[in-house]
Amino acid sequence: MSTNVTQQKSLSCCWNLLEGLKMRVIGLPCPHCEQSVRAIKSRTMSPMLKEITYRCQNEECGHVFVAGLEVLRTLSLSAQPNYAVKIPISQHARASALNQLSLNLQVA
């Protein structure tokens, strides 16, 4: 039993590490030389927008730039919505939500 818990913690740790590595990979290539870039700083502008500062990994280029990471639309509705946050809903999610609302549910 305790071995399983230990294994789960260990797997969770590895998974978090992998997720962290994936996060670093997400980004644009350098717009000038198209080499990979590295995020060096981020700044939360709002719950919908984060600015990320990238540095080009090509030493001969050295470009540093700011890009935006913005929430654009909802694909699946939150079960814990923050009503102060207004995010456009994709057509697919809207149709799914309307289907759920139109179900004729009865309380037993």
Residues found near Zn ion in the complex (CB under 5 A): 30, 32-33, 56, 58, 61, 63
Q: Min. distance of Cβ 48 from Zn ion in angstroms? A: 28
Q: Please compute, for residue 63, the number of CA atoms within 13 A of its CA located in the half-sphere on the CB side.
A: 16
Closer CB to Zn ion, 47 or 62, in the complex = 62
Task: Tell me the two tokens of residue 11.
Answer: 């797997």
Asked if 27 and 40 count as a contact pair (C-beta separation under 8 A), the reply is no
Q: Min. distance of Cβ 42 from Zn ion in angstroms? A: 19
Task: Tell me the two tokens of residue 87.
Answer: 């995010």
If you ran DSSP here, which 8-state letter would residue 95 be given? H
Closer CB to Zn ion, 62 or 81, in the complex = 62
Q: Min. distance of Cβ 57 from Zn ion in angstroms? A: 8
Closer CB to Zn ion, 42 or 57, in the complex = 57
Q: What are phi and psi of 52, to 5 degrees?
A: -125, 130
